[in-house]
């Protein structure tokens, strides 16, 4: 399956998260993105070094600047279970804007064509690192990394596309 690309419509899919009342919820990507400018960014794994020290902190630090350019939602997706994503989100107490969403079985990642097989490293099938700028469900910018690289999917890279 070809990876999602500029001009494509994002598929709908159900992801999990814990709300502010610590209740497990399911949410449709389309319900979060329809009629809005949103960023979907994904990481290969919660608590992994590049994801935890560079990728997520960049979006937290640049959230106000992104919002000033019309971004309404900043969504972090990982093929981890919702309990791991909840624990990971708590390691960023300063975060007010990035939503941590679980794609526990990788079905949404598969629908995007952005799987990354890390079986040899003991991680199973995960998500490639990417950042998508989406306007009303259409991909305007698709910054998709090769392997475990971190060269095109940062908050600064998305700011250049806005």
Q: Is residue 114 part of a domain?
A: yes
Residues 128-144 have pLDDT tens digits of: 999 999 999 999 999 99
Average pLDDT, stretch 23-49? 96
Q: How many structural domains compose the chain?
A: 1
Residues 75-120 have pLDDT tens digits of: 999 999 999 999 999 999 999 999 999 999 999 999 999 998 888 8
20: left (phi over 0), alpha (psi -120 to 50) or beta: alpha
Q: Is residue 77 part of a domain?
A: yes
Q: Is residue 80 part of a domain?
A: yes
What confidence category does residue 125 fall into, taking pLDDT thresholds of 50, 70 and 90?
confident
Q: Is residue 1 part of a domain?
A: no
The domain that holds 48 is classified in CATH as 3.40.30.10
Catalytic residue annotation: 51
Print the domain residue range for 70: 36-161
What confidence category does residue 149 fall into, taking pLDDT thresholds of 50, 70 and 90?
confident
Q: Is residue 125 part of a domain?
A: yes
**Cα–Cα distance, 48 to 60 (Å, whole number):** 17
């Amino acid at each position: 399956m070809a990876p999602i690309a500029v001009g494509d419509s994002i598929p709908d899919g159900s992801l999990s998260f814990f709300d502010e009342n610590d209740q497990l919820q399911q949410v449709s990507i389309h319900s979060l993105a329809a009629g809005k400018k949103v960023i979907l960014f994904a990481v290969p794994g919660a608590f992994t070094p590049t994801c935890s020290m560079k990728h997520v902190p960049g979006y937290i630090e640049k959230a106000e600047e992104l919002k000033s350019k019309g971004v309404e939602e900043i969504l972090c997706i990982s093929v981890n279970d919702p309990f791991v994503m909840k624990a990971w989100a708590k390691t960023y107490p300063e975060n007010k804007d990035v939503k941590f969403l679980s794609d526990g079985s990788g079905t949404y990642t598969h629908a995007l064509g952005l799987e990354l097989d890390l079986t040899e490293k003991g991680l199973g099938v995960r998500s490639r690192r990417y950042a998508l700028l989406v306007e009303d469900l259409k991909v305007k910018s698709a910054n998709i990394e090769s392997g475990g690289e971190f060269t095109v999917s940062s908050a600064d890279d998305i700011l250049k596309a806005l």
